[in-house]
Structure 1
Amino acid sequence: MFYNFSAMTELTYIDLSMNTIGGSIPADLGQCKNLRFLNLSHNIIDGELNLTGLNNLQVLDLTMNRIHGEISLTFPGICDSLVVANISNNNFTGEIGSTFDQCSNLRYLDLSYNNLTGGLSLGFDKLKEFSVSKNKCNGSLPSSFFNPNCTLQVLDLSENGFVGGVPKEISNCKNLEDLNLSGNNFSGPIPEEIGSVMSLQALYLGSNNFSRDIPESLLSLSNLVFLDLSRNNFRGEIQEIFRQFTQVKFLLLHGNSYTGGIVTSGIPNLVNLSRL
């Protein structure tokens, strides 16, 4: 990557995405004190991330590179103004912990496809979209995770190692449109409180260990289009409640070791279904 950024102190916007830029991010980029937008996505940049000095940065997009290092050492110093941070598809490691606690303006955070570990402790009183998909995070979700001021619209925790039940407090996220918990080890009942999140359009619960009782409250989700309950090992006959999901267009039930019940479940009468 080219250097001599120290001479361009008036820069506010850099977009070098979708090239084949390699090497590490130059240290003197931190001299661009007025920089508000930085997009280096879809390159082959490697090395550790050091953006010290970019305190006015509002949008950061580094997706699809080879950047590595402990995530906790990167963000606390640059997040005063940060609104959007996408560092997906890199090689970041370590625990998220309190890394983003001081990022009071952060609304969109994508950490997917890295090598992050440990549990989650951050709250969702400001974030609108959060993804940590395809990492190595684990542990249970504390109820405090979904505080009463939750502003989430999109939450993607898929393909990790989370365990235990899903807290009923998830219903605090009244604006949630897309909830993806697939590919974990969640167990126990599907919280009936999810049925009060009327904005929900897509619910991905596949590849977990949820119990086979489907809450009737989910039938109230009039905006629900996509329902994934695949690979939960439900067994037995297909649940008859599915006949009532008339609003759903995509219903995924594969990998459940069902023994029958496709007709008695009433699924063939769901005229809006596009995929089963």
Structure 2
Amino acid sequence: MTRTITYINVKSNLLVGSAPNISALVNLQQLDISSNGLTGPFPDITFNKQLIGLSLANNFLRGPVPPSVIQNPKLNWIFMSNNSLDPGPLFDITQLTGLRTLSAGRSRFQGAIPSLGNNTVLTEFTVPVNNFSSIPLDWRNVTSLTILNVASNIITGNLPMLPEYSTQTVIFGLRLALQKIDFSNNSFTGVIPKSWGGLSFLEEMNLAYNRLEGPIPPEIGRLNQLKTL
């Protein structure tokens, strides 16, 4: 029976105790235990080679993220915000070549946000309210990105180069382009890059509470889709 289970969804209950041991569920594809009161270590997914989705957000999971997470190339999405993980660096997501969504806000990560390499399928990268201190300066190869949120960290330095679009990128039949960026509540310095004027489909840009200087580039005023600045 356990080998035939492909989907578990028990989100938004009052479950307590340790997160479940799913090692016997070798055909499991999606696990959603979010918004409960679960404690204990982050689940080990060593034997869950078919897993494409993992939602653990809004619990009290602690400890490090196990190596089995980055050893699972089929993972498409990971939601793990609002847990009590050990402080430390974000795991190396360059090995997760199929990753499309990472939501890891308020997860006690620190240090540098790692390079995303040449990931061409990642659409959402949201890691607000951590203790990241730096960010890769060049994101132009991550052309599938639609949402980038690094708000409320302690990041210093210049704002990064972002993927520019004259047309939308088509991936998995979907038309994608960067639509929302949030760099607020950090310590970014320098100027707003003129190249951001090429973010043709950008709808929201939040740069509040930083140390930026200089004029807003006139190129930003030509972003016809921009609704919030």
Which residue identity lines up with residue 103 of structure 1 in the other structure? L
Deviation at 1:150, TM superposition (A): 2.4
Aligned equivalent of 1:24, options 14, 18, 25: 18
Which residue identity lines up with residue 224 of structure 1 in the other structure? L
Partner of 1:131: 126
Q: Does 1:170 align with 2:162?
A: yes
Partner of 2:174: none
Query: Residues of 2 paired with 1:204 and 1:82: CA distance?
Result: 29
Partner of 2:173: none
Q: Does 1:46 align with 2:42?
A: no
Which residue identity lines up with residue 131 of structure 1 in the other structure? T
Structure 2 SS opposite 1:57: coil
Whether contact under 8 Å (2:164, 2:198) holds in the other structure is: no
Q: Gapped runs of 5+ residues in structure 2?
A: 169-176
Query: Residues of 1 paired with 2:77 and 2:143: CA distance?
Result: 18
**Residues 109 and 149 (structure 1), Cα distance of their counterparts in 2 relative to 1, 3 Å cut:** closer
Whether contact under 8 Å (2:122, 2:142) holds in the other structure is: no
Query: Residues of 2 paired with 1:65 and 1:147: CA distance?
Result: 34
Structure 2 SS opposite 1:170: coil
Deviation at 1:101, TM superposition (A): 2.0
Runs of 4+ in 1 over 6 A off after TM superposition: none
Query: Residues of 1 paired with 2:164 and 2:218: CA distance?
Result: 19
**Residues 180 and 72 (structure 1), Cα distance of their counterparts in 2 relative to 1, 3 Å cut:** farther
Partner of 2:143: 150
Q: Does 1:106 align with 2:108?
A: no
Deviations 1:211-231 (A, max 9, x none): 04111000110000011xxxx
Deviation at 1:114, TM superposition (A): 1.2
Whether contact under 8 Å (2:101, 2:125) holds in the other structure is: yes
TM-score (norm 2): 0.88
Which residue identity lines up with residue 19 of structure 2 in the other structure? I
Q: Which has the larger radius of gyration?
A: 1
Partner of 1:200: 202
Structure 2 SS opposite 1:109: strand
Query: Residues of 2 paired with 1:80 and 1:54: CA distance?
Result: 11
**Residues 136 and 60 (structure 1), Cα distance of their counterparts in 2 relative to 1, 3 Å cut:** same
Query: Residues of 2 paired with 1:72 and 1:197: CA distance?
Result: 36
> What's the Cα RMSD here?
1.7
Query: Residues of 1 paired with 2:3 and 2:12: CA distance?
Result: 24
Partner of 2:171: none
Which is bigger in relative contact order (C-alpha 8 A, separation at least 6)? 2
Deviation at 1:9, TM superposition (A): 1.6
**Residues 97 and 61 (structure 1), Cα distance of their counterparts in 2 relative to 1, 3 Å cut:** closer
